[in-house]
Chains A and B, each alone.
Chain A
Amino acid sequence: MLRYAVRRIAASVPVLLLVTLISFSMMHLVPGDPAAAIAGAGATNAEIEAIRLQLGLDKPFLVQLATWYGGLLQGDLGRSILLNRPVWQAIVERLPITLPLALFALLLTLLIGIPAGIIAALRANTWIDQAVTGLAMLGVSVPSFWLALMLIVLFGVHLEWLPTGGFVPFSENPVAWARSMVLPSISLALLQIGLLARITRGTMLEVLRQDYVRTARAKGLPGWMVIGKHALKNVMVPVVTVIGISFGLLLSGSIVIETVYGMPGIGRLIANAIFGRDYPVIQGGLLLTGTVLVLLNLVVDLLYAVIDPRVRYGS
């Protein structure tokens, strides 16, 4: 186990280094003068120079790179140009908005996606299966930001059941807070629900074909016990992977969803940075998500190795 863990951790070090390097290089992808691009069309030379100085773009490339890594080691992700504050701080401040949104969406995904996939697999090739499969396919095909707009039209404008957007802090009014979260969470969850339902169904079908399921049936276990005890446990393995992937999807999904619903979270922060060419925020957001995802993958892999010895000894 230890050997596997060491090998796996060692393998993720170069990936992490590359993730930081790719994030850093975003600023240098800007054609021409990044400082001028950030300052915008109407900027004076003095303004452009000020930005160049602030971002250290006047220094040689390698010095910039060293400064960037030096900053990272101290937890410094750079400074937002639009907000004029540290990127790290801007992200942390918005966490209380995006985190509950992502958690609600994840909860919806698990509560709907997994049962839907299991039911479809157990009733394979019936109308139930076809309905679930069809809906799941629709879920992964509909653009989430468009669905968000259509939900606003239906539930906000026509039926007037829910607010059309905006965000109410929990401390101000918990009921209004919950209501303002409903449509964004649904819009954000849809893609993941479809994805998870498809994968759960596929895995479940595979598991049901396995010998140990047949053995369990043959020895006379009741159907619910075969499913609950033998099948479900094995279905959970790929499902955990998908939940890991979900984190990235939820974060990138929140960029458009928070924009549509006018929620001042991390997604909105990044969307504004994209609109306003606020490269430090883009770099910081990219770096943070990439790093978290690499580490998340590492943890998931190590967990697998703990649960399933085949992973440790394989290859």
Chain B
Amino acid sequence: MAAEAVLAVGALPPARRFALTRRLFRHRLFVTGLVLFGAMLFLALAADWIAPYSPMRMQFRARFRPPGGAFLFGTDNFGRDIFSRLCFGARLSLGIGFAVVVATGIIGTATGLLAGYFRRLDEWLMRVMDALMAFPAVMLALAIAAALGPSAANAVIALSVVYIPRTARIVRATVLVVREMDYVQAARAFGGRDLWIIWRHILPNSLAPLIVQLTFIFAYAVLAESILSFLGVGPPPPTPTWGNMIAEGKDYIREAWWIAMFPGLAIAITVLGLNMLGDGLRDVLDPRLKVQQG
């Protein structure tokens, strides 16, 4: 059984953990992903210092300026600096993605652990998850965001609802394998309490697939958030997100392609970076997942 291949990252002794880090940093895909994602993260974190203009400042004499000169990526239809908006947009786009990862990580893991460990809960919990997963992810998120109204918080809620079942299912699958392992059976035989067994034995063993999955969910969430924003159910303008910047640029695409191009590049680089990070983490942490996810 492949169960032995499940790596308990959290339970590793320091020396093994160091070896793991070294293998990660020798992994070309992982390092490339780290650089790409790191660059976008830098834009978000350092926006206050590196953005030359306020993201909201409209300079009507400088509308539709092509990239170059005083405006690195040009200006939009209101004469706002696209590079500055892109940096501040990174904050919101990555922030929403990260919030989704945290919410999904906590709620999805809890659900997966409960479903996998307490067999009586499993049946109906998983039916609900199945039903939520029956819808195309983006479509369900759009519907929920449209119902709740356009805001950053609602985008996080909508995307979390969509990705929680996908996390729960992965965690549950690991738990089903781990709970049959001898040491878990032993812990139970010694009278270990359920919650303690989950915390001490099951959770650490579910960590590797969970980390891999959450990295991919980060990527999906950034991509999906851009669609929400593009269709007007994300954080509303004038606050910049990458998605609503592209939506604004859409109407001027024939004359001023740069308005839509640069935020789209930012999305692509972020998602590509995260996908590479995910693939790298999977190769190193959890090789048996390789084929499953393609």
Residues of A within 8 A of B (CB): 14-15, 18-19, 21-22, 26-27, 29-31, 37, 137-138, 140-143, 145-147, 149-150, 152-153, 157, 164, 195, 198-203, 205-206, 248-249, 251-253, 255-256, 259-260, 270-271, 273-275, 277, 279, 282-283, 285-286, 289-290, 293-294, 297
Contact = CB atoms under 8 A, between A and B. Distances in A.
Contacts of A150: 257, 260-261, 264
A150 B227 CA distance: 16
Interface string B105-140: 000000000000000000000011011101111111
Contact of A146 (B130, B142, B268, B275): B268
A274 B138 contact: no
Interface residues of B, number: 48
A22 B127 CA distance: 12
B23 to A, nearest CB: 18
A113 B257 CA distance: 30
Contact of A19 (B134, B271, B279): B134
B195 interface: no
A243 B10 CA distance: 37
A143 B268 CA distance: 7
Interface in B235-286: 246, 249-250, 253-254, 257, 260-261, 263-264, 267-268, 271-272, 275-276, 279
A143 B250 contact: no
Contacts of B45: none
A202 B254 contact: no
A143 B226 contact: yes
Contacts of B209: none
A294 B232 CA distance: 29
B253 A286 contact: no
Contacts of B263: 146
B294 interface: yes
B147 A252 contact: no
A5 to B, nearest CB: 18
Contact of A251 (B139, B143, B254, B267): B139
Contact of A137 (B144, B146, B275, B293): B275
Contacts of A30: 147-149
Given A29-B148, A157-B254, A286-B139, A256 B264 contact: no
A146 B246 contact: yes
A206 B291 contact: yes
B231 interface: yes
Given A27-B147, A29-B148, A149-B264, A256 B227 contact: yes
Given A18-B131, A153-B257, A203-B294, A289 B144 contact: no
Nearest to B220: A140
A285 B140 CA distance: 10
A274 B146 contact: yes
Contacts of B250: 149, 260
A47 to B, nearest CB: 20
Given A18-B127, A286-B135, A146 B267 contact: yes
Residue of B137, B140, B290 with highest tally of chain A CB at under 10 A:
B140
B279 to A, nearest CB: 8
Contacts of B264: 142-143, 146-147, 149-150
7 contacts: A15-B130, A19-B135, A141-B271, A143-B264, A146-B260, A255-B138, A282-B146
Interface in B213-236: 219, 223, 226-227, 230-233
Contacts of B227: 143, 145, 255-256
Contacts of B272: 137-138, 141
Contacts of B127: 14-15, 18
B116 to A, nearest CB: 15
B134 A145 contact: no
B232 A289 contact: no
Contact of B267 (A143, A152, A153): A143
Given A26-B147, A29-B144, A252-B142, 13 more contacts: A138-B272, A140-B271, A142-B264, A145-B230, A146-B246, A149-B249, A150-B264, A153-B253, A195-B294, A202-B293, A205-B291, A206-B291, A256-B227
A152 B253 contact: yes
Contact of B137 (A27, A141, A252): A252
A130 B147 CA distance: 43
Contacts of B230: 145, 256
Residue of A21, A140, A279, A283 with highest tally of chain B CB at under 10 A:
A140
Contacts of A138: 268, 272
A145 B136 contact: no
A270 B140 CA distance: 12
A256 B231 contact: yes
Contact of B136 (A18, A195, A249, A275): A249
A141 B268 contact: yes
A290 B294 CA distance: 25
Contact of B131 (A15, A26, A149): A15
A273 B233 CA distance: 12
Contacts of A249: 136
B53 to A, nearest CB: 23
Nearest to B273: A141
